[in-house]
Structure 1
Amino acid sequence: MQQPNNVLQDSAELPFPAIRDIKATSPFRWFASGWRDLLSCPIPSLFYGFCFAAMGLLITFVFEHAYEYTSGLTSGFLLLGPFLAMGLYEISRRRERGDGCSLTPTLMVWKRNAGNIGVFAVVLGVIFLVWARASLVVFALFYTEEMPNLSGFLDQVLRFENFEFLGVYFAVGLLFATIVFAVSVVSIPLMLDRNQDAITAMLASVGALARNPATMMAWAAGIVIMTIIGFMTFHLGLVVLMPIIGHASWHAYRDLVEPLPHP
């Protein structure tokens, strides 16, 4: 496996990231590598897993009687996942370098390229806010009854008369999720590893999706399935599954992006 550069370059001096063609089965290897990273660095990895689980539980309890907000915020939780997983990327990066497992250096890793990571966070935040608003609009226009509460959500929403609502709601959600996935496949790893600027990193991510559509669809499906399992276990599954996804995302970056040539 290619080792990361020891010295970060100025983003203006960096070539545009070269994207590799990879096999459709690669996501299985990435998840396996993520599991190994979790086992090698359990304490810092599980710290971030508990953070994800706590956020999910907080969203659920705070908005227990306003599920239209909960669904939007849960989607936002997924949209902001690449930003929240920075510490997990750094754990994998440090393990590659042989720097050992330590939580403290990962907590402020965003400072390494704060300006560009901030730009990326703003982009994701704007998409999240638009999606949250779109979620409310879809509920208002297509839902046939009063807003559902959390306890009766599935029973109320999965009725035949709400079929049109479900189709529109998931179509809109899929659109936003696809946009976020396209711009975030390798964005933050590039910004952390190479000091890459935000625009170039997002364009490289779109390029990775365009060049390897089958592999990226399999990768996205794996992430969605594991995340759903995490939520279905009352968020407790997120404690383990989110660190695996975060570590695996770092290994996906390593496979998708050609390393910089040695000076």
Structure 2
Amino acid sequence: MATISNTNPVMVTETSSLTVQKVDSEASMRWLNAGIKDFKASLGASFTYGMIYVALGLVLAWLSWANPMFITSLAAGFLIIGPIVAVGFYCMSRTLEQDGKPHFLQGLDGLRFNGVSLVNFAMVLGVLMGVWAVISAVTVALFFDNVTVTDSALGTLIGHEQFAPFLFAWILGGALVAVVAFSISVISVPLITDKKVDFVTAMITSVKTVRMNPGVMLSWAFILATLVFLGFIFGFVGLAITLPIAGHASWHAYRELIKAN
């Protein structure tokens, strides 16, 4: 059974162990640069893979165009489920690491290798997505219960006297969910796709990694959020570039933060 000791080793199976590493302050930029390099090296497969999520985002945005708050919640949701979305990019980066040629269907490799843990962890992130949806809906209801929308929903909300306290509460709720999601997932999915670990061990390892490298992981979270934001402000289309870069870079973060003994 997996255990974690005070000397940093994380026992994954009876025959292997991992060690959580402490990294320097420049690590996040190394990971980003490595992600850009991998994106260029697997341009066709990575871009095509990214376009699937662009199409999905555009469909969801079109369906919710009349509700701008749903669109902002959707953007936050991408941050929460991002690690699962990026499974294909992790597998591509691992292939490049082994001097192989990445291909479009490599997302299936992670599912075949450790599918049970991957699905279980996806369910955990799904619960967090549900929690965020409830928090968002409750916050809107608390502050705008008696608001009558006349022209535009966004214009009505921004012009309302409760908008500033609402925005503060909404951002605070989203930040709390994001911190939890990031802490349990930043290392979990790359680890699950690379080693035969259960999803609970992967989450504990991820939290331990964040705790050991708070400054670096804060800057890494900011970089990932920025990449997703840049993808969204260009009408979702930018995600075809920024999402693959984030995914490839996250693989390199995992490889530097977790070492096999």
| TM-score, scaled relative to structure 1 | 0.88
The residue aligned with 1:82 is 83
Q: Name the aligned partner's letter for residue 64 of structure 1.
A: W
Q: Name the aligned partner's letter for residue 242 of structure 1.
A: L
Q: What secondary structure is seen at the aligned counterpart in 2 of 1:18?
A: strand
Q: Name the aligned partner's letter for residue 69 of structure 1.
A: F
**Residues 7-51 of structure 1: CA distance to partner in whole angstroms, max 9, x if unpaired?**
xxx953255532111112211111111111011111111012112
Task: Call closer, same or farther: CA 1:169–1:68 in 2, change over 3 Å.
Answer: same
Task: Call closer, same or farther: CA 1:134–1:82 in 2, change over 3 Å.
Answer: same
**Residues 111-143 of structure 1: CA distance to partner in whole angstroms, max 9, x if unpaired?**
210111111011000111111111100000013
The residue aligned with 1:22 is 23
Task: Call closer, same or farther: CA 1:16–1:205 in 2, change over 3 Å.
Answer: farther
> After the TM superposition, which residues 83-232 of structure 1 pair with which residues of structure 2 at under 5 Å, given as runs?
83-143=84-144, 145-146=147-148, 153=154, 155-159=155-159, 161=161, 162-232=163-233
For 1:192 and 1:94, the matched residues in 2 are separated by 12
Q: Name the aligned partner's letter for residue 142 of structure 1.
A: F
Q: Name the aligned partner's letter for residue 204 of structure 2.
A: L
Question: Gapped runs of 5+ residues in structure 2?
Answer: 1-10
The residue aligned with 1:6 is none
| TM-score, scaled relative to structure 2 | 0.89
For 1:73 and 1:146, the matched residues in 2 are separated by 24
> How many residue pairs were aligned?
249
The residue aligned with 2:40 is 39
Q: Structure 1 vs Structure 2: percent identity of aligned residues?
A: 32
For 1:235 and 1:208, the matched residues in 2 are separated by 31
Q: Where is the strand percentage greater, Structure 1 or Structure 2?
A: 2
Q: What secondary structure is seen at the aligned counterpart in 2 of 1:80?
A: helix
The residue aligned with 1:257 is 258
For 1:165 and 1:31, the matched residues in 2 are separated by 34
For 1:40 and 1:166, the matched residues in 2 are separated by 41
Question: Gapped runs of 5+ residues in structure 1?
Answer: 1-9
